[in-house]
Amino acid sequence: MTRTPSAYIVGAYELPERFYPDKSLAQLQAEAALGALADAGLTIDDVDGFFCGPDAPGTGPLSIADYLNLNLRHFDTTNTSGSSYTVHVAHAAEAIAAGKCDVALITLAGRPRAEGRAKGALARTDNPQQPDFQWEQPYGLAVLNVYAMVAARHMHEYGTTAEQLAWIKVAASHHAQHNPHALLRDLVTVEDVVNSPLVCDPLHRLDCCVVTDGGGALIVTRPEIAKSLKRPLVGLIGSAETTQGQNGGYMDIITTGAARTGPRALAEAGVSIADIKYASLYDSFTITVLVQIEDLGFCAKGQGGAFVSDGGLISGVGKLAVNTDGGGLCNNHPSNRGGMTKVIEAVRQLRGEAHPAVQVPNCDLALVNAIGGQLAVRHAPATLILERFA
């Protein structure tokens, strides 16, 4: 027994390229927006709600709203890093249910490669106004370090191996080979991953996501409008968000806040984790996927290594098809923010519009989980449960 959606995702568009040296950030935002509107069969004049992250140029929604000449009744620029756009879907549905807007546009675009910021896991600059930053400083830490610490601790507690983590990348490459837009389309093996250079032991280069230019956009609207369009109906039936930090120095570094958002979103939807046919899981690093699979309840804590092994995440092969576009590990991680592409591929699966080689048969229920920020020290998980309606 699922609940009646208060809103539907009727437009989804991913910019095709992964390197944009000759298009401005504003143009990429606009092309993403127009692509999603065309997909929905709506026009820019229909948009009365706008949701964006700090990847949009200027202050909050102001520049892009001006550039696109939007006539807004509602906006929301919640920033939880990579999960922002997943949060925006839920917030758009809430705004629509509250009568604040009818057609919500959510955009993401960035060009870190074109701007020479494609340096992998960048060293963070210190911010003395942010008490939690002290944790990573001043011992030569970067983003990657904390994820590697989570991996090392997971290996210690549960016997998880580098080879098991490698299977997550292998699955992504199996999917990406069918995606003509993916940055990395070559199949890789477990041996390729564990023999790739160590970046931050125990994580190798191929345990890390790509850095890409690009972006995407989504259109969320109310049921009456959604049913008037010619697109398959993808409804939001459950959502949850939270934050998790250091708890004054007493954090459990291998458990994410998804352990709370997953069960809450599923309960709201009235479905169980076993009902999920497809999952988009934020894959900044292989370890990120592993802890989400456990925390969301696809398997018991500590069993993630066994779950992902032997093609466990490959569509048509394993127990659960995950990131069938190739994910952030192989396809796309635009502007270092993966939440948007996670929603887009879930919409494709629910519409039956994924590549035939990776399409999950009769895919009527999908879960999206994004982790914004950094595992262990500060992050915002956001879970969506999406259902296809006839």
Partner 1 sequence: MGISKIVMGLDDKPMWASIERGAMELQKCGECGEFRYPPAPVCPHDLSADATWTPVSDKGTILSWVIFHKQYFEDHVPPYNSVAIQLEEGPIVVSQLQGDEPEGSWIGQRVELIYAEHAGRTQHFARWLKPQAA
Which of left, alpha, beta for 51 (phi over 0: left; psi -120 to 50: alpha)?
A: beta
Q: Which of 72, 118, 142, 273 binds partner 1 (CB under 8 A)?
A: 142
Q: Which of 22, 69, 116, 128 binds partner 1 (CB under 8 A)?
A: 128
Binding string, residues 233-272; x marks residues near partner 1 by CB under 8 A:
-------------xxxxxx-x-------------------
CA 131, 136, 138: angle at the middle one, nearest 5? 100
Backbone phi and psi for residue 172, each to the nearest 5 degrees, phi listed first: -60, -40
Paired tokens of 334: 């635009």
Regarding 153 and contact with partner 1 (CB under 8 A), the answer is yes
Residue 127 Cβ vs partner 1, minimum distance, rounded to whole Å: 7
Which of left, alpha, beta for 61 (phi over 0: left; psi -120 to 50: alpha)?
A: alpha
Residue written as token pair 């606009």: 30
Q: What is the CA radius of gyration of the chain?
A: 19
Q: Give the C-alpha separation, 104 to 251, whole Å.
A: 37
Q: Give the C-alpha separation, 76 to 89, whole Å.
A: 11
Q: Give the C-alpha separation, 343 to 384, whole Å.
A: 9
End-to-end CA distance of the chain: 15
Q: Give the C-alpha separation, 195 to 282, whole Å.
A: 24
Q: Which of 99, 131, 270, 316 binds partner 1 (CB under 8 A)?
A: 131
Regarding 141 and contact with partner 1 (CB under 8 A), the answer is yes
Nearer to partner 1, 153 or 351 (CB): 153
Regarding 195 and contact with partner 1 (CB under 8 A), the answer is no
Binding string, residues 266-305; x marks residues near partner 1 by CB under 8 A:
----------------------------------------
Near partner 1 by CB under 8 A, which window of 48-56, 61-69, 195-203, 331-339? Answer: 195-203
Near partner 1 by CB under 8 A, which window of 42-50, 90-98, 118-126, 288-296? Answer: 118-126
Residue 211 Cβ vs partner 1, minimum distance, rounded to whole Å: 14
Binding string, residues 154-173; x marks residues near partner 1 by CB under 8 A:
-xx-----------------
Residue 305 Cβ vs partner 1, minimum distance, rounded to whole Å: 16
Regarding 116 and contact with partner 1 (CB under 8 A), the answer is no
Nearer to partner 1, 151 or 237 (CB): 151
Measured in whole angstroms, the distance separating CA 133 from the mean position of its chain's CA atoms is 24
384 near 86, Cβ under 8 Å?
yes
Q: Which of 41, 44, 133, 161 binds partner 1 (CB under 8 A)?
A: 133
Regarding 134 and contact with partner 1 (CB under 8 A), the answer is yes
Nearer to partner 1, 243 or 272 (CB): 243
Q: Which residues pair with 218 in a beta bridge?
A: 12, 106
List the 378-389 sheet strands across, edge first.
Answer: 74-76, 49-52, 103-110, 214-221, 8-14, 233-241, 378-389, 365-374, 278-281, 321-322
Residues that bind partner 1 (CB under 8 A): 120, 123, 125-142, 145, 148-150, 152-153, 155-156, 197-202, 246-251, 253
